[in-house]
């Protein structure tokens, strides 16, 4: 089935370039479909945009090149950051949009667009009610996601909570008559001259070329982590030996290939921060989704980094270790993800009954490992780390059995992308908004700066997806 689709789509794409029909000797009639709002991409950002626009009474079409919806959101752990006084105050945590604003800017080395960050943090608290209205049930917990730098993370408690967000968004989209075209790849944006509005998209589906006309277009095609050539243009180290967190086994097709960025650039769209590409350890050795319960050791059995630090700092530290890897160790006391038993069965994680067994597994001296754990546990008890500056400790690591696994870096997130303003309008090289064109999600740049804090991605795609849908619908209705 998929092989047949790829063949037909490939033939159709060739015909788009050559100007011929989808099949030799046939003059296929031009197919044109019109809507108020056209959304390219059915991931978290695209579905948020589509649902919001449809709720504003716009006729909405969504194009998705994959055979399924969800994009990177559906396979994510689901950590979402936003201030939540009800839960945070119970834990003695003081938080606010202003504090989040300062922390997001600092995490990105102040290379973020302050206006976009302000928009993000001011709208973040509304996400709890928004998702609840769609049917999400939040877990009664607040945590610090890996690389999140502050305890304001939320999810549904599921191992891959991203599925819960996609499920309710998809159901809402269908309930509001959003027309989703699967296996349909957008190829080119249609613009009325060099300075006119964007009026639609040229696309290819299983039956060949198809044109979608719309009064407003939203690009939500995700980042370019899966496009090796594109990412190497900005970071030559990231060759094909690096897998992505969206395709960790390297066996599936890459879907995050920067399509929307390329299409917008063809009609004059500007980009920002393209060299800010985030890697994270994603081999599977970690069994927790929060900071505070594990210790990371190099092949010599020594700590080498603040395990609760910035993701880019952790990445560079791991890349400097022998074999560009590390061991992650936790114990019986930590809260583990639902995938842990599967990781143990497949040999990704080892469940060991003593530190002696741990030492044998990672190939270090048992006494030296014991000394490392003793020193760490003393820091954890005092909540002070004079060596690496770690501040988040949720427990000691001293109760067998121990859970041990290897971590290596994978390409995770591209912070750069299309240049947008706070209204999610795509800007050209002169800083002017391209009429009729909006963008949201990982396909955009400027929000996270040099480094995205863990838990901010799903927040950003939701906030800006909703803004894009609202503004696209308003533009369509004004026409």
The CA distance from 328 to 319, in Å, is 15
Q: Among positive and negative, which fits the CA dihedral 416, 418, 424, 430?
A: positive
Q: Residue 210 carries which DSSP code?
A: E
What are the Cα distances from residue 369, in Å, to 297, 356, 375, 383, 397?
9, 8, 10, 20, 12
- Residue 167 tokens read as 């499920």
Helix ranges, 91-238 (H): 97-107, 114-123, 126-134, 162-175, 228-234
- Which of the following is catalytic: 185, 191, 243, 311? 311
Name 81's Cβ contacts closer than 8 Å, sequence gap at least 6: 100, 124, 145, 148, 150, 152, 153, 154, 453, 455, 456, 459
Helix then strand count (H, E) for the chain reads 14, 18
Q: Report how far apart, in Å, the C-alpha atoms of 56 and of each of 109, 178, 220, 423, 476 are.
A: 37, 12, 19, 16, 10
The reply to whether 311 belongs to the active site is: yes
Is residue 65 within 8 Å of residue 38, measured between CB atoms? no
Distance CA(394)–CA(448), nearest Å, equals 27
Return contacts of 336-341, CB within 8 angstroms, 24+ apart.
336/287, 336/288, 336/403, 337/77, 337/159, 337/287, 337/288, 337/289, 338/158, 338/159, 339/159, 339/287, 340/287, 340/403
Residue at token pair 């002169």: 430
Question: Known catalytic residues?
Answer: 311
């Amino acid at each position: 089935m998929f092989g047949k689709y790829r063949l037909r789509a490939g033939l159709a794409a060739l015909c788009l370039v050559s100007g011929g029909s989808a099949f030799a000797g046939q003059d296929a009639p031009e197919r044109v479909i019109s809507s108020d709002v056209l959304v390219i991409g059915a991931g978290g950002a695209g579905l948020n945009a589509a649902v919001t626009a449809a709720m504003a009474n716009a006729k909405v079409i969504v194009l998705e090149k994959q055979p399924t919806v969800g994009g990177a959101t559906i396979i994510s752990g689901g950590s979402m950051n936003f201030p939540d006084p009800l839960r945070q105050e119970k834990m003695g945590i003081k938080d606010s949009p202003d504090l989040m604003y300062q922390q997001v800017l600092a995490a990105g080395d102040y290379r973020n667009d302050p206006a976009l960050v302000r928009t993000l943090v001011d709208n973040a608290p509304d996400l709890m009610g928004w998702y609840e209205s769609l049917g999400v049930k939040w877990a009664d917990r607040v945590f610090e996601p890996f690389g999140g730098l502050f305890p304001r993370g939320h999810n549904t408690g599921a191992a891959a909570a991203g599925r819960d967000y996609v499920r309710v968004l998809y159901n809402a989209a269908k309930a509001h008559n959003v027309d989703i075209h699967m296996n349909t790849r957008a190829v080119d944006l249609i613009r009325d001259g060099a300075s006119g509005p964007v009026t639609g998209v040229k696309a290819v589906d299983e039956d060949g070329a198809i044109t979608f006309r719309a009064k407003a277009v939203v690009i939500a095609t995700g980042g370019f982590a899966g496009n090796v050539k594109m990412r190497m243009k900005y970071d030559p180290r990231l060759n094909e030996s690096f897998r992505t967190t969206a395709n960790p086994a390297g066996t599936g097709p890459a879907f995050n290939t920067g399509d929307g960025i390329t299409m917008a650039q063809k009609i004059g769209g500007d980009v920002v921060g393209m060299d800010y590409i985030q890697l994270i350890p994603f081999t599977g050795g970690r069994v927790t989704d929060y900071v505070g319960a594990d210790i990371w050791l190099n092949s010599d059995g020594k700590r080498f980094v603040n395990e609760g630090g910035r993701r880019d700092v952790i990445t560079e530290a791991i890349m400097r270790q022998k074999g560009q890897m590390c061991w992650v160790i936790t114990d019986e006391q930590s809260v583990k993800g639902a995938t842990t038993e599967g990781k143990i069965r497949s040999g990704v994680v080892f469940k060991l009954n003593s530190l002696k067994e741990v030492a044998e597994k990672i190939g270090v001296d048992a006494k030296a490992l014991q000394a490392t754990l003793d020193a760490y546990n003393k820091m954890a008890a005092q909540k002070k780390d004079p060596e690496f500056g770690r501040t988040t400790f949720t427990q000691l690591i001293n109760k067998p059995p121990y859970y041990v696994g290897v971590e290596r870096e994978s390409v995770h997130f591209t912070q750069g992308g299309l240049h947008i303003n706070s209204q999610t309008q795509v800007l050209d090289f002169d800083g002017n908004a391209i009429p009729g064109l909006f963008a949201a999600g990982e396909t955009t740049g400027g929000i996270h700066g040099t480094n995205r804090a863990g838990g901010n991605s799903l927040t950003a795609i939701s906030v800006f997806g909703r803004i894009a849908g609202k503004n696209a619908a308003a533009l369509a209705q004004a026409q």
